[in-house]
Amino acid sequence: MNWKHALTGLTASLVVVLAFSQPTLAFDEAEPTEKPAAEATAETQAPAEEAPAEEAPPLSLTEVYYALDNSMLLLCAVLVLFMQAGFAMVESGFNSSKNTINILFKNLMDVCVGVLIYFAVGYGLMYPGDAGNGYFGYAGFGIGEAGDAGPGVLHPQVDFLFQVAFAATAATIVSGAVAGRLKFSSYLIYSVILTGIIYPISGYWKWGGGWLDAMGFYDFAGSIVVHAVGGFAGLAGAIVLGPRIGRFKDGKSVPIPGHNIAQATLGVFILWVGWYGFNPGSQLAFAGTDNTNAVMLIATNTTLAAAAGGFAAMVLGWIMYGKPDISMALNGVLAGLVGITANCDSVTNIQALIIGVVAGLLVVFGILALEKLKIDDPVGAFPVHGLCGIWGGVATGIFGGFDIGVQILGSVVIPVYAFVTMFILFTILKVIGQLRVSEEDELKGLDLSEHGMQAYH
């Protein structure tokens, strides 16, 4: 009969639980007759009615425009900075696997060194204000103070972020042109000189209100100021360095295939996306109907030129080689982007397509010309950025309504300045024995010889 005892015990337990729970439930439901002393004291001390919190005054239209312009420029600066990842992927993918770490490292240092030296020297050289004489000037160390806020007014901090991303882009273009044989230490020296001195001075001539700007030279987002400078600096480095071992034999070109075309393709897509910070961001103002209309035109023209450049390069390469070559098409996309950068705000959609097509054709002919001249540019940096950069500057005069003579002048002077100064620098490094790695180190690969590690095992 154990079950009867169990049942009896369970019933007794339920009775006890219910008995003790009822007072609690009754207490919870009933209104207490007297409040605890602590609660009564707190109520006595509290004011009879709390004053409503003051509401923040509504933002004025001026404040909204200021916030929008600066926030959008910050986003564009991030997109341009992200282009460094694209350059890293393109350059490493188009080169031998044994030089991957070296290329990635150079791209990383272009940003790190570039930010520091541009902050210390470059920004003040590029925008000297009243300290400039049209050709040279220096506003001083660091970044200026913020002034009055308003529509179209940029905070100096975000303006610096946008400008320094451009400076790093100009520097990193050279990385691919000299890949596989330049000492890492020499590359750091080059990066400091270009970012801190060479690029800012020529940038001042146009964007800082210098002599070319006074003449009416136009370069909206940098076909000449950024890309041609980097492209011609890369050409100077490639010439002084000489070709990679085995690149030319018995007067004939011997291709050295890239190790990862998927990586290079990803890099081109990253660069294409980053260009929407590069070109639309150069409007520098986004609020208001006129600015919005301009940004939409700029973005669409950028897209059309890139697509046209890639398609034209594919077709021409197909005709010349009998098979479609993805490397030509990838460089064609970049060529179209470079060509439209100077004039994306001042040409029609149809004109943007024409500019892109011409750029795509030029890049193929440029790559062939370098091979004929036995100049080794592993990624096509000069045809893409140098040659098509000049085309962008000239096309601005042809299609954009600007003085063609002034456009040709600016499109020649700035690239020649970059080429000559960088040729001198690379020659000095060569004379003192600090330019190129040894033959043994080059054959081993710069990953091991310069950094003591491998990207792939």
pLDDT at site 151:
72
Distances (CA, A) of 80 to 20, 129, 168, 386: 72, 25, 9, 19
Q: What is the tens place of the pLDDT at every residue in 372-386? A: 999 999 999 999 999
Q: Where are the domains of the chain?
A: 61-451
Q: What is the tens place of the pLDDT at every residue in 108-138? A: 999 999 999 999 999 999 999 999 899 999 9
Alpha-carbon radius of gyration of the chain = 32
- In words, the CATH class of domain 61-451 is mainly alpha
Chain centroid to Cα 389, Å, comes to: 17
Contact between residue 162 and residue 283 where contact means Cβ atoms under 8 Å apart:
no
Contacts of 253 (CB under 8 A, 6+ apart): 247, 371, 374
Q: What is the tens place of the pLDDT at every residue in 275-323? A: 999 999 999 999 999 999 999 999 999 999 999 999 999 999 999 999 9
Whether the pLDDT of residue 28 is over 90: the answer is no
Contact between residue 314 and residue 328 where contact means Cβ atoms under 8 Å apart:
yes
Q: What is the tens place of the pLDDT at every residue in 162-211? A: 999 999 999 999 999 999 999 999 999 999 999 999 999 999 999 999 99
- The per-residue DSSP string of 287-334 comes to -SHHHHHHHHHHHHHHHHHHHHHHHHHHHHHHHHHSS--HHHHHHHHH
Contact between residue 154 and residue 77 where contact means Cβ atoms under 8 Å apart:
no
pLDDT at site 29:
38
Share of the chain above pLDDT 90, in %: 82
d(CA 319, CA 312): 11
Specify the pTM.
0.86
Q: Average pLDDT of 8-15?
A: 40
pLDDT at site 52:
61
Q: What is the tens place of the pLDDT at every residue in 52-110? A: 667 777 888 888 999 999 999 999 999 999 999 999 999 999 999 999 999 999 999 99
The dihedrals phi and psi of 252, each to the nearest 5 degrees, come to -115, 150
Question: Sign of the C-alpha dihedral, residues 345, 272, 72, 205?
Answer: negative
Q: Chain-wide mean pLDDT for the chain?
A: 89
pLDDT at site 51:
57
Three-class SS state of 1: coil
